[in-house]
Amino acid sequence: MIGRFAPTPSGRMHLGNLYCALMAWLSARFQGGAFIVRIEDLDAGRCHFEPHIEKVFDDLRWLGIDWDAGEDPESFQSRRSAIYEEYFEKLKQVAEIYPCYCSRAELHAASAPHLADGQPLYDGRCYRAWKDGVNPVIGRKPAWRIHLLAKEITFTDQVMGDYRENLATQCGDFILRRSDGVYAYQLAVVVDDALSGVTEVVRGCDLLSSTPRQIWLHRLLGFPEPVYAHLPLLVGADGHRLAKRLGDLDAGMLREMTTAEELIGNLAASLNLIDRPEPLTARELVAHFRWDAIPKEDVRSVVG
Ligand SMILES: [Zn+2]
């Protein structure tokens, strides 16, 4: 079995990232599996990721996590666009992929219902134009969307339980390649997980709604499907989600406030893996790991 942690290095990692990394690592090591770290820097052309990448590995080492692959060039999405292109072309053989010329403003003006992740349900105007052979808009580079059939995807998450989504009515045609040529996260994740043999995906439950799209891409490409575990979000003492409080709970601050052993012990107690907080190393926590202990509801942070 192979597990993974795949951060986007848009800044110093925060407590939510460390928690996610720890859980993915624990599950992999508990099962005697391998663990890989992948850097999701797809947007390297627009974002400045370099200053943060070394810190990702440094903060993971501080936490007591090790990995079997992670610092090699293959682990960086920004260096893999030729591979994504290959699978984008393969998808064209088995699904309808069409150019979408809509601007961001046009997409938001279309008064379609919004999904949980904030994206509007695409109204399909460019799909209809493509089917009708209508000439494209001149002078604008298209994004490329994949057309979804009214297909229900179901899976059982190791933490959140049964989950189902109708791709056509709850998701809508989604982008595989942006107009600037950058491949979409949904495609890159599926290709990377499959090619690196990942069998278990552990991540925050804010990504639960993107999982049916990824499962569908796995099936279209003939890849085996990984199992999933979507973690309850950590919230601060005041109930706010930690991701919104990056500034005051980043790994640099945490490392001044606490030791890795104290942090791990507190997290483990909050997640019902141990009875009460006591300092322990990541390696020591492996023996206590089990998915069925993890609550589905938001978990109140013990730090910050
Ligand atoms: Zn369009």
Which of residues 120, 154, 186 is at a domain's end?
A: 186
How remote is the CA of residue 224 from the centroid of ligand 1, in Å? 31
Which structural domain, as residue segments, surrounds residue 292?
2-79+232-300
Q: Residue 264 in contact with residue 280, Cβ under 8 Å?
A: yes
How remote is the CA of residue 102 from the centroid of ligand 1, in Å? 4
SS3 246: helix
Q: Residue 271 in contact with residue 301, Cβ under 8 Å?
A: no
Return the CA Rg of the chain.
Answer: 20
φ/ψ of 21, rounded to 5, equals -60, -45
Q: Are residues 74 and 91 in the same domain?
A: no
Residue type, 163: Y
Mean pLDDT across the chain: 90
What is the per-residue pLDDT for 151?
A: 84
User: How many domains are contained in the chain?
Assistant: 2
Q: Residue 46 in contact with residue 10, Cβ under 8 Å?
A: no
Which of residues 156, 186, 216 is at a domain's end?
A: 186
The CATH number of the domain holding residue 138 is: 3.90.800.10
How remote is the CA of residue 170 from the centroid of ligand 1, in Å? 18
Residues in the chain: 304
How remote is the CA of residue 263 from the centroid of ligand 1, in Å? 47
- Of all residues in the chain, the percent with pLDDT exceeding 90 is 71
How remote is the CA of residue 101 from the centroid of ligand 1, in Å? 5
Q: Are residues 97 and 33 in the same domain?
A: no
Structural domain contains residue 227: no
The Cα–Cα gap between 23 and 5 comes to: 9
pLDDT (tens digit, 9 = 90+) per residue, 6-63? 999 989 998 889 999 999 999 999 999 999 999 999 988 788 888 899 999 999 999 9
- Token representation of residue 8: 């986007």
pLDDT < 50: residue spans in the chain: 111, 116, 246-247, 304
How remote is the CA of residue 165 from the centroid of ligand 1, in Å? 23
How remote is the CA of residue 100 from the centroid of ligand 1, in Å? 4
Place of tokens 């209809």: 128
Q: Residue 258 in contact with residue 249, Cβ under 8 Å?
A: no
Q: Are residues 44 and 96 in the same domain?
A: no
* pTM assigned to the model: 0.92
Structural domain contains residue 203: no
What is the per-residue pLDDT for 290?
A: 97
How remote is the CA of residue 89 from the centroid of ligand 1, in Å? 20
What is the per-residue pLDDT for 247?
A: 43
Residue 230 exposure: Cα atoms within 13 Å on the Cβ side: 18
Residue type, 235: V
How remote is the CA of residue 218 from the centroid of ligand 1, in Å? 24
